[in-house]
Structure 1
């Protein structure tokens, strides 16, 4: 019988962006087994309603639970914004963590002035999850939130650096750099795609603006919770990583090269259908 601590951590995202969270988990928890589920059939989530995203997230968690995971990380910012709390209530026996809370914690911790910017997808910005989470932790904060959905396409196409990318990033970030509330000292990368554009964003914003990558802070939260719940894998052997997708495994492997630091073999990606995992 497999010891519960040796079971994998389930990582769920709407597509490939959550691989940046997977990178952070691999670095912080190299001996943990990881099972990544990308809902590539229904990506992007950023333009979907909250009800649809919550339903999709529930189906993903049910699929991961069937695979016997010990912990679930919602790597998608949009799903984290609307689904973490209801899912945590629905599955109290399993720790479920999203990326919004850790990102908010980190931004409040590093900002000296309380002037914080958030860039994310349209859905995440409109839901105001980051704004609410930051204000809960730091009521004196002044927050500027900006939808930068074009960054998702840049990241997936491998356009990460260079003069043209910097021009596009500069144009998209203009409202947050030059608006009436300009002067932020911290910028939250509120979409899992955005860390691959970190260099271009940093160059445009300037060295005085601290960039918060919620993937890194989420990995540290997961590490602490594994210890607190006695779920940490004590094995000294490097953990295995497995992949599930709901559509287009070949495209997933191709696009994943822009996000994941390890090579993914096409045979290592399993195609599954999660839409039959309906809430009873």
Structure 2
């Protein structure tokens, strides 16, 4: 099926998921939306994150997507259920695939999770892990300084290493043997994190695991495109396209093209009566 796959994130981090999707599903066209004007999602309330996620999904639906990937740990933690409830296409987030991989990888059942304050505060990874392994010990650690470090390109060096050591120390003290990189920015820090932790701790890249689940789901639903990529991947942002392309090239590992800035406020005004957004207040549950 030649219809594209939609992917959204609050900003540029979701490109690590795009990179993995391109590797494992090279014939699929991807339409990406980065809501860079409203970043970060990680400091917002659950209700606002859910609203933003619905609006992001609405933008991607206009491209007749066959599948939606929520390439944002914060939105996956707070808005995945309402997206599944309201959309009539398959929806996959990054939390459950990462949790599944961690459960399969751990040897001592002590699993750490690092992510934004909203992701850790939601306990979404903890709930998913305990559903699969009730006797697991899950330790969450919010790491708010890592996203700006990654976006500055500070992937190693003294400042980054000191920050990581501070964040990782409590997890190392508890002797976790598996850590989930619970933010799409963190895979860029994986070599440095692994060096600090040592070889005995397994790191789980939720983006990589999500791409695998997307492929499996597409195959089971017979939605895989096997006739060659129907068109170039497209990238849309709600703020500066130039800055997104500059930072995003580091996430993809190649020059980022086809980036367009859209007037997202105008789009939302024009689509304020869309069924997807109606009665949101009624369904919202804090």
Q: What band does the TM-score fall into relative to the shorter chain?
A: over 0.9
Counterpart of 1:117 in structure 2 is 112
Question: Taking structure 1 as the reference length, what is the TM-score of the superposition?
Answer: 0.93
Question: Contact 1:71–1:95 (CA<8 Å) still a contact in 2?
Answer: yes
Question: Contact 2:245–2:259 (CA<8 Å) still a contact in 1?
Answer: no
Q: Deviations along 1:236-257, whole A, 9 cap, x unmatched?
A: 3486210010111111111112
Question: Partners of 2:110 and 2:11 in 1: how far apart?
Answer: 31
Counterpart of 2:260 in structure 1 is 269
2:11 aligned with 1:11: no
Structure 2 counterparts to residues 3-42 of structure 1, below 5 A: 5-42=1-38
Q: Deviations along 1:172-195, whole A, 9 cap, x unmatched?
A: 2222223xxx11000000000100
Indicate the RMSD between aligned Cα atoms, in angstroms. 1.4
2:213 aligned with 1:213: no
Question: Partners of 1:190 and 1:31 in 2: how far apart?
Answer: 27
Question: Taking structure 2 as the reference length, what is the TM-score of the superposition?
Answer: 0.91
Unaligned runs of 5+ in 1: none
Question: Partners of 1:188 and 1:238 in 2: how far apart?
Answer: 34
Unaligned runs of 5+ in 2: 279-286
Question: Partners of 2:249 and 2:156 in 1: how far apart?
Answer: 15
Counterpart of 1:97 in structure 2 is 92
Counterpart of 2:283 in structure 1 is none
Question: Contact 1:32–1:240 (CA<8 Å) still a contact in 2?
Answer: no
Aligned residues, how many?
Answer: 271
Question: Partners of 1:183 and 1:177 in 2: how far apart?
Answer: 5
TM-aligned CA distance change 1:238 to 1:216, over 3 Å: farther
Question: Contact 2:68–2:89 (CA<8 Å) still a contact in 1?
Answer: yes
Question: Partners of 2:230 and 2:57 in 1: how far apart?
Answer: 25
Counterpart of 2:281 in structure 1 is none
Question: Contact 2:102–2:178 (CA<8 Å) still a contact in 1?
Answer: yes
Q: Deviations along 1:140-178, whole A, 9 cap, x unmatched?
A: 100110000111011100011234422221122222223
Counterpart of 2:187 in structure 1 is 195
After TM superposition, the structure 1 stretch with the greater mean CA deviation from structure 2, 235-244 or 122-131, is 235-244
